[in-house]
Amino acid sequence: MKSGSLVVVGAGLRPADHLTAEAAAAVRQADRVLYLVCDPAGEQALRQLNPRRSEFLAPLYAAGRPLPAVYDEMVDRVAACVRGGMRTCLAMYGHPGLLVVPSHRAIRRVRGEGYAARMLPGVSAEDCLFADLEIDPAMTGWQSYWAADFLICGRRVDPTSAVVLWGVGGMTTWTAAPARSQAGAWERDSLDLLRDRLIRDYPPDHEVVLYEAAVHPVSPPRISRVPLAELPQSDVTLATTLYIPPSRPAPIDETLCARLHVTRAAFEALREEG
C-alpha cells in the first residue's frame, strides 16, 4: 500500500454539535483536510481542528458550473493530495455516504490507484428526520429514493410502508447550487409530475410532510404537513425532503402468525408499542 491515504468523514448537519470523536480525530491527524459544510459555524468548527492544513471546497461551486464538473474537480484535488503522500481527510456535510457524490468517487479513485481509503459515518438528514418526526422506520418499513430517480426510473412504492424522497426541490437543477436562488432552483412542473405519480398509489388528501433539518443550533427544523394534492403549491427549497407516511396498515398473514406462535392481537400490540 502506498504512503498516501484517504479518510472520508461525515461532519453532520451541524458540525459543532454533530461531529463524532472519531471524525474529529481524523481531521486533527490529517496532513491535508478538504471540507464542505453548509454554514459558517460549521466551517469554523472544522477549521479549528486543523487550521493550517484545511481547505474549504465551497468556492468550486462557481455560478453556472455544471455539478459533474464541480465533483470532478473535488475528486481531482483529493487524489492529488493522496498521491503527494499526504494523510488526506475529506470532511463532508451530513453523512458522507448519503447523497454526497464526491465522497464515493474519491474513495474509488484513490483505492483504484493503490492507496488506502475508508469512510467514517456522520449524522445525516435522515437521522435528523427520524428524531424530528419521531419515526421508527423498522416498524413500517422504509423506502428511500432520490426524487429524480423515483420519477425517471418509474420506481414502485408500497403504500403500507413509509417513503422518503430526497431532493424534491432540485429535481431539474443540474448546475451548481449558487447559480440560482433557492426560489428559482426548482420548477413547478416537476412537482406537478411528482404529485401525479404519487396519486396513483395514495389518495389526494393523504397528508405528506415537507421536511428540512435544522442546520443552526438556534433554528428549529422545518416540518410542513400538506395534503398530497397541494404538493405543487408548496414552498420547497434545495434542502427539502418529502416524507410520505403509510396510507394504510400492512395486511397480516394469520397463518404465519400461527406458525410463529403469536396471535394477531399480540403482534399488532408489539408493533404499536415499537
pLDDT at residue 183 in the model: 42
17 and 93, same domain (yes or no): yes
186 and 83, same domain (yes or no): no
The tally of domains found in the chain comes to 2
C-alpha cell belonging to residue 47: 477549521
Domain extent at residue 56: 5-119
C-alpha cell belonging to residue 264: 394477531
pLDDT at residue 270 in the model: 76
Pair 79, 113: CB distance under 8 Å: yes
Residue ending a domain, among 57, 85, 119, is 119
- Kindly tell me if the per-residue pLDDT of 175 is higher than 70: no
Pair 13, 39: CB distance under 8 Å: no
In a domain, 86, yes or no: yes
Q: Are strands 162-166 and 241-244 parallel, antiparallel or unpaired?
A: antiparallel
In a domain, 87, yes or no: yes
77 and 169, same domain (yes or no): no
**pLDDT level of residue 172 (50, 70, 90 thresholds):** low
- For residue 251, how many C-alpha atoms fall within 13 Å in the half-sphere facing its CB? 5
> For residue range 64-94, what is the model confidence (pLDDT) as tens digits?
788 889 999 999 999 999 999 999 999 999 9
> For residue range 6-20, what is the model confidence (pLDDT) as tens digits?
999 999 998 888 999
In a domain, 85, yes or no: yes
97 and 141, same domain (yes or no): no
Average pLDDT along the chain: 89
pLDDT at residue 180 in the model: 43
Q: What percent of the chain has pLDDT over 90?
A: 64
Dihedral sign computed on CA atoms, order 123, 126, 131, 136: negative
> For residue range 101-111, what is the model confidence (pLDDT) as tens digits?
999 999 999 99
DSSP string spanning the chain? --S-EEEEEE-BSSHHHH--HHHHHHHHH-SEEEEE-SSHHHHHHHHHHSGGGEEE-GGG--TT-BHHHHHHHHHHHHHHHHHTT-EEEEEESB-TTSS-HHHHHHHHHHHHTT-EEEE-----HHHHHHHHHT--HHHH-EEEEEHHHHHHTT----TTSEEEEE-TT-TT--B-GGGS-GGGSS-HHHHHHHHHHHTTTS-TT-EEEEEE---STTSPPEEEEEEGGGGGGS---TT-EEEE--SSPPP--HHHHHHTT--HHHHHHHHHH-
Residue ending a domain, among 57, 92, 119, is 119
Higher-pLDDT residue of 154, 62: 154
148 and 174, same domain (yes or no): yes
pTM, two decimals, is 0.86
What CATH number corresponds to the domain at position 55?
Answer: 3.40.1010.10
Rounded Cα gap, residues 274 and 271, in angstroms: 5
> For residue range 20-79, what is the model confidence (pLDDT) as tens digits?
999 999 999 999 999 998 778 888 889 999 999 999 998 888 877 888 899 999 999 999
99 and 167, same domain (yes or no): no
- Kindly tell me if the per-residue pLDDT of 226 is higher than 70: yes
70 and 135, same domain (yes or no): no
10 and 37, same domain (yes or no): yes
114 and 144, same domain (yes or no): no
